[in-house]
Structure formats: structure tokens, C-alpha cells
Structure 1
Amino acid sequence: MSSVEPSKIGQYFVAYPHQYHFILDEPDQCQQRRPFLVLMIPVAPQNRAARDAIRKTWARETTVLGRVVSHYFFLGLAKEGDGVLQESREHHDLLQSDFLDTYQNLTIKTMVMLEWVASRCPGVPYGMKIDSDMFLNVRNLVQMLQKAPQHTYITGMVARGAPVVRDPNSKWFLPKEVFPDSHYPPYALGLGYVFTLDLAKKFIEASKHVKAVYIEDVYLGLCLRYMGLNPTDPPNGGLFKASMPYIWSSCYWTRVITTILNSPQQLLDVWQSYQTKAQTGCYTLFSP
């Protein structure tokens, strides 16, 4: 018996590949700055608070361990006016494309992001997709990447053997008609993954052969499987955190790369704590 009506199967796929266009663009910045690492942050157009908090915290880390780091916020279209033009003129870090900015379209957002970085950042070694509700320790990330592979490499919090969600009430539901396997191939969770930029073009090429489902990190895993590649586990299993522990030590923020937070204000508070501890010798505890 079918788990979904045939007429509804299409809602689990998204319109990609497609000829999307940028409304707001920074076409020359990447080549002018020649960064070692480009941070790509998908965010809703109306979420100005998250963007401002990031600009005041980890996006301020523009040179780390002698390496140039750049950041860009990726936006789709709001259902109503978003008023981001003035913000773009002020900060020059907004990239907006002409698809509707919804949860269902996160795969489109991710792929358009990869299109941008592949075309605008030739010669840049690494990119990272990181959600806007994250703490990011840029120093630890750069330190890890200085010893990382330079080709066909993607890492983060890697899911292996993850079961396909069959509960129709879940936002991650996929019916058997869309994905018949019971488990997904390995993939890096979308909260924050880092990759060599040669993979961006490979993902775009694979997308011509792998039908795009709406769960963006799973979709990249499907593209990796098509390419015969696997994500790499980070050198330390505690670097990429889905959430901070209930009880954490005073040096916690200097030991991780990512952690999900609850609000822009919490990021501002955590960042102040992190900077204080980073100056007291906590960094000696990190070993990539």
C-alpha cells in the first residue's frame, strides 16, 4: 500500500537544477580578498538579528592564524518585502537569489550557494556552510584545515547509517516512493560542514543526475554516493557539536568548532565568554 498519494510525491522534490539568478551579488569580493576559507551562511531575509550577531562575533575573524577568512549571508526571496537592500549597501555581505526562501527550499538554497562559490571563488581552498544559529570557533576550524586534505574533502558532524524517517508528521519525512532504502548514505549534517572547493563543482555536476529532495544535507549525501565519495570524520569527534552539554567546563568554547545556540543574544553572550577563555591558555587543550 502506498504511504502517500501519487499526486503528492512531487512535494518531496525541489526545482533544481534550475536557472536561478542573483538579485544581490558581490561578484568580485572573493577574488579581491583571496581567502583561505569562505563561510557561507544561509539565513532568512527577515532574520536581521542573527546576521548582526554573527557580524559582531565570529564573522569579525577576518584573519586567523595568518589566513584570510571571508563570510557571506545567503538569502532567498521573502513572501513579503524584506528591506535588505540598505543592509547590503552597508555591509556588502548579502547574496540574494530569486527562489522563495522557505524550509522546503533549503536544498535549492544550498545548491545556489555552491554555484556562487564555484564561480566567484576560483582558487580558494575551503568553504563552509554554517547555519545562522551556530557558534563557530574560526581559530579551531582554520587550525584543523591547515592539516586537512586539499581535494574531495568534506567533514563536519557525519551521520552514518541514519534511518530514513517514515513518520508523516515529521518535517524530515520521506516516503518509500521517493527514497526506497531504509537508511541514508553517509552525509555531513547541515548545521555546519566544511569542504574543499573542488567539491562545489562536483556537487553541481552530480545534481544533474540525482533528483533533488528537500532535505539538503541528505541530498548532498546522495550526490556524494553518486560520485563514489564519502564524508570524512573530523580528527576529533568532539569538534562539531549539535548542542552544548547540560554541564560544560569553562574551556568548552575553545575546544569545539561548532555548537547550536538558542538565540542571537546567546551568541553575543557566549562569544564574550569564549574570548575571555581564549586569552587564559585554554587553547592548549585543543589538539587537531
Structure 2
Amino acid sequence: PMSLLHTVFYDGTIQWRRIHFLATLPQTQNISSKHELNMKNQTTVTVKMIQQVPQTQPAQMTPVPYVPPGPYVVEYPYEYHFTINEPHRCEQEKPYVVFVIHVAPHNRAHRDAVRSTWGSEGLVLDKVMKVFFLLGMQTGGDAQQVHERLMQESKEHRDLIQSDFVDSYKNLTIKTMVMLEWLNLFCSNASYAMKVDSDIFVNVPKMVKLLQKAPKTNYMTGHVVYSNPVLRDPDYRWYVPEEILPDSIYPPYAFGLGYILSLDLPKKLIEASRHVKALYIEDAYLGLCMKHLGILPIDPPDKDYFNDLPLSYSPCALSKIIAITIDPSIDRVKMWKDFKEQAKDC
């Protein structure tokens, strides 16, 4: 007989298992056998075993191309693996804040811009900062070339974390959950982490001053979104069908451009994800997991601290925020130098 093995849900939680083959199963017959086990000459046990023994050759395995489950279904939880990793740096360097910057594998320019600007601040107000870049797998004809360049870049900077999911917009939830898994496994000794998009400027000293007065546990802050409706029109970019999420309103969540969380949360959010169906809108999905935990994200003291709209360039304007989107036309290195020289006079 032919059998197609596919996706498994178990134990009342959600778990993806990809087993992609057609198995031609041989006919079997029952065979009885007896085995005598002598246990240090103290006793003899006779065990009768019924075995399923094939009458013919072993199963023939025919590979079947993997078919994605659909554009609105996210394959998480699933056991992804780290293909490039820095498993010991947090343990060795004991950072106060870990920045995890989400970036495309091919986007070396954004990584270098961060390294030469705000990401270069390793010690701020006597607190150790550490920057890592998180990426998935490149696809397409240049995938091998990108991989080779990443391996060299990793040797040079030791700040890349790569996992074996396809790096794409629809997989941002996977990327976010892999980030939480990495923090839980390799960086739980830090106090806080900040998720940052690669086109964001971070005012690190202002962030540290905020965290010195922040809760140590169950803490998430950023640009918190309230009462955001779930979009049901398929023509909208963030459309979500009702069978994926029946709720009409999202719970409060921190907008994905940049948010901060205490390092007790990754483990809790990973556990919550076992019970909350994954949603491809990654920041809203974290809000659903936070709701499951009974924890709310917290507004910062000033709601303008996290701004998703680019400001017109001004060192004094940058001195008043923690995270903001950078207009692509702006020279980031020049902006950084101006900020360092002029912001103290604002």
C-alpha cells in the first residue's frame, strides 16, 4: 500500500513535522518468538514477542516535492537549526542589552552601516552592549555565492546568526520565534534584548537610561499598538482569513520596527507559541502570545521614543527618541557623526 506522511499535531499543542515521502509498504506477517534473559543467574524470564516481519524487500521510498501549506499558514513551532552561530559570546561577554537586528542575507550594506554607527557602542553608561544580525537562508541563483560571503563575513565579525528557514516577508514570524529561541538558548544571562529592523537608528544611551528604571521581568516596550482591527479584505497587505484568526481585534502589541523585552520573556513566549496558532504578522503574533501569558506590553514614558515614520534629519530630533526609521536617502555614517558631535548640546 501507498502512504503519504505529512503534518502531525500532537499533545494538545501545535507542532509542525515535515516528513515528505511516499512509502511503498511491504506486506507483513506475524511471527512469534521466545527469548530467554538470564539476569546474573538470579532468575530467568521468558518473553513472548509478536513481531511484524516483512515478507518482501524493505520499503521503497519515493521523494515527494514539499508543498507549502498556504500563504497564511506559518510552519511554527518547528525544529529549525542554526547554520551560523555564536553560541558563547553572551556567556563570555555578559551583555546588559543584546540587539538582534533582522536583516536579509544579501544585505551586507545595512549590516556594515550598523557596525560603523550606533552598533559600534560596546559600552554605554558602564553597561555592555552586544549586536547580532539574524538572517535566514537566501534562495535563487545566487544562494551559494551569498552563503560563501556570509561565511567569510562571520569569520571577520563574529556577529551573524543564521537559521535554516527561507528568509522572506511571509516568514517574519518564524524569524522572530527563532530569535527568541536563540536568546533563550544562548543569551539568557543578559538583562534585556532589543529586536531591531536593519533600517532603524537606535539612540543607545537614551535606551539604557530608560532600562535603568524598567521592570526586570515580564517587560516589553516599544511603539504599542492598541485595538488594531484584523483585516478581512483579501486585497489588503495584512489580510488574515477568519479560519486563521477568528478575533476581530488584535490584542495590544509592540510594533515590529524595534521593541525591547526582558530576558525572562523568550522562554515564556516560546511556550505560549505551542498553544497559539502562528500568524504571519509577526508583531501581532507576539501580542497574541503575550495575551496567552496574561502580560501586556508597556508604553514608554514618551510615546515618541519609538517612531515608525522617518524624521527630517536633525541631531536634536534624534536625541529625543530611542528608535526611528532612517530614510534610505540619508548618509547614515555622516548622520551618526553629526549626532555624536551635536546631540550633547541639544
Equivalent residue, structure 2, for 1:58: 118
- Which residue of 25, 28, 40 maps to 2:100? 40
Does the 8 Å contact 1:53/1:265 carry over to 2? no
Q: Distance in 2 between matches of 1:209 and 1:149?
A: 26
Q: Which digits, 9 at most, give the CA deviation of each residue in 1:41-85, with x for residues without a partner?
A: 110000000000000001101100000000100010000221211
Answer 1 or 2: higher relative contact order, Cα 8 Å, separation at least 6: 1
Contact 1:154 1:231 in 2 (8 A): yes
State the one-letter code of the partner of 1:160.
Y
Name the residue aligned to 2:164: 98
Alpha-carbon contact 2:188-2:264 (below 8 Å) kept: no
Which structure dedicates a bigger proportion of its chain to strand? 2
Runs of 4+ in structure 1 over 6 Å off: none
**Structure 2: distance between partners of 1:197 and 1:100:** 26
The change in CA–CA distance for 1:250 and 1:25 in structure 2 (over 3 A counts) is: closer
| Counterparts in 2 of 1:97 and 1:109: CA distance versus 1, 3 Å | same
The match for 1:173 among 239, 250, 253 is 239
For residue 87 of structure 1, what is the aligned residue in structure 2?
153
* 1:182 is aligned to 2:251: no
The equivalent residue for 2:293 is: 227
Distance 1:235 1:270, change over 3 A: same
What one-letter code is carried by the residue in structure 2 that aligns with 1:49? A
Alpha-carbon RMSD across the aligned residues, in angstroms, is 1.7
Identity value in percent: 49
Contact 1:158 1:232 in 2 (8 A): yes
- Map 1:1-288 onto structure 2 (within 5 A): 10-79=70-139, 80-81=143-144, 82=146, 83-245=149-311, 250-263=315-328, 266-280=331-345, 282=346
CA contact (8 A) 1:133 1:264 kept: no
Q: Secondary structure at the match of 2:304?
A: coil
TM-score of the pair, normalised by structure 2: 0.76
Q: Distance in 2 between matches of 1:245 and 1:87?
A: 32
Hey, what's the Cα distance between the residues in 1 that align with 2:326 and 2:338?
14
Deviation at 1:170, TM superposition (A): 2.6
Q: Larger Rg: 1 or 2? A: 2
Is the partner of 1:238 in helix, strand or coil?
A: helix
Instruction: Give ranges in structure 2 of 5+ residues lacking alignment.
Output: 1-67
User: How many angstroms does 1:244 deviate by?
Assistant: 3.0
8 A Cα contact 2:200 2:325, kept in partner: yes
Contact kept in structure 2, 1:53 and 1:264, CA below 8 Å: no
Which is helix-richer, 1 or 2?
1
Change (3 A) 1:231 1:170: same
Give unmatched runs, 5+ long, in structure 1: 1-7, 283-288
Q: What number of residue pairs does the alignment pair up?
A: 274
TM-score, scaled to structure 1: 0.91
- Matches of 1:187 and 1:44, distance apart in 2: 24
